[in-house]
Structure 1
Amino acid sequence: MRAAEREFTEYTGGEPLGHVVYSASQIADCVARMGADIAAAYPPDADILMLGLLKGSFVFLGDLVRQIRRPLQVDFLVASSYGKGTTSSGNVELLYDPRAPMAGRHIILVEDIVDSGTTLNQLCGALVDRGPASFEICALLHKRIAPDLEWEPRWVGFDAPNEFLVGYGLDHGEDFRHLPFIACPRT
């Protein structure tokens, strides 16, 4: 059994492994690079608000904001289009709206994965309507399969394979979010 497979079974109580797609060290290197790129993209006095799209982005967002060496604020929004399935339902439900004011601020929407594009297409326009100074998207993973994606991320960590992925915040029925790596499980 390979080291990655042993690590996967340690975290999952023996759950079968498909394969590890991105190791914890690959993710850490990527997040550090993305944080530096984001910090360099704004003037020193920029009022930055990082909006984490929950639940999937929480691990990524936590690591990312620690890599952005400048003042910023964090808030969250909760939207769902998956339920317990492995593909998007196509219907996005906003379950929690951010409390932080957005007008005149530099907003960065932090997303775990761009898959069908449904969530981004339905949320971004509504956020831009709130009058930010700028609006950008940062995604850890981008499958590049959305045929009608209206809002492209400015920062992308990895071009992801077209597989169902779990770990590092990504889940399957709320399981596997705690994995420090990203894997494609056998389902």
Structure 2
Amino acid sequence: MTPARPADDIAEILVKADVIAAKVKELGVRIAADYQGKDLVLVSILKGALPFLADLMRATQIPLALDFLEVSSYGAETESTGVVRILKDIAKPIEARDVLVVEDILDTGQTLSYVIEHLRAQRPASIRLCVLLDKPARRVVPIEIDYRGFEIPDKFVVGYGLDYAERYRNLPFVGVLKPEVYARES
């Protein structure tokens, strides 16, 4: 049974909404400075990165283009399956353009490594990575992060775009789900 309020399922808030907003603004200023005068394309990974992307692009006060990839490696599980599939590819060519991949969370690194290699094959001028959340304890594939929001512990998190079984994305903060949520879903 789904609770009346999604926040009722949260055991702990890891990153509050106002802290996220301040960090996103800071990242936007840095990105704008680094890409001033360049042909920047933000490539966001759907669906989880959408709130982060929306806030980040507003904080990045330079001309830019947007495109999207949809990939799957989780399904309805709390841990990545390790098998990455592209469900929706980018729509526009990125050859000779500066690409910034925008992602909600870097966990094992398998998904982002796959995405970066996929995009690199399209010969962009540059490709860099911006992640809201970094979970280094779970890293299997080494990946360089150019813009990092927050380093978090090895806990399954939801909110601010991140989900469990397509729920909790609308929470304004990043939090840890109560263990009993998984039990009632099993």
Is 1:166–1:183's contact at 8 Å kept on the other side of the alignment? yes
The TM-score normalised by the length of structure 1 is 0.90
Q: Which residue of 1 aligns with 2:178?
A: 186
Structure 2 unmatched runs, 5+:
180-186
Is 2:107–2:139's contact at 8 Å kept on the other side of the alignment? no
Q: Which residue of 1 aligns with 2:184?
A: none
Q: Which residue of 2 aligns with 1:167?
A: 159
Task: Report the count of equivalent residues.
Answer: 177
Q: Which residue of 1 aligns with 2:58?
A: 66
**1:123 and 2:123 correspond:** no
Could you say what the CA RMSD is over the residues aligned between the two structures, in angstroms? 1.4
Q: Which runs of 4+ in 1 moved over 4 A?
A: none
Q: Which residue of 1 aligns with 2:103?
A: 111
Is 1:11–1:179's contact at 8 Å kept on the other side of the alignment? no
The AA in structure 1 aligned to 2:167 is D
Structure 2 residue matching 1:66: 3-state secondary structure: helix
- Whichever structure has more helix as a proportion of its residues is 2
**1:48 and 2:57 correspond:** no
Percent identity, please: 38
Superposition deviation, residue 123 in structure 1: 1.6
Is 2:138–2:154's contact at 8 Å kept on the other side of the alignment? no
The AA in structure 2 aligned to 1:26 is V
Match among 121, 133, 139 for residue 141 of structure 1: 133
CA distance in 2, matches of 1:64, 1:10: 30
Match among 31, 36, 40 for residue 29 of structure 2: 36
Q: Which residue of 2 aligns with 1:151?
A: 143
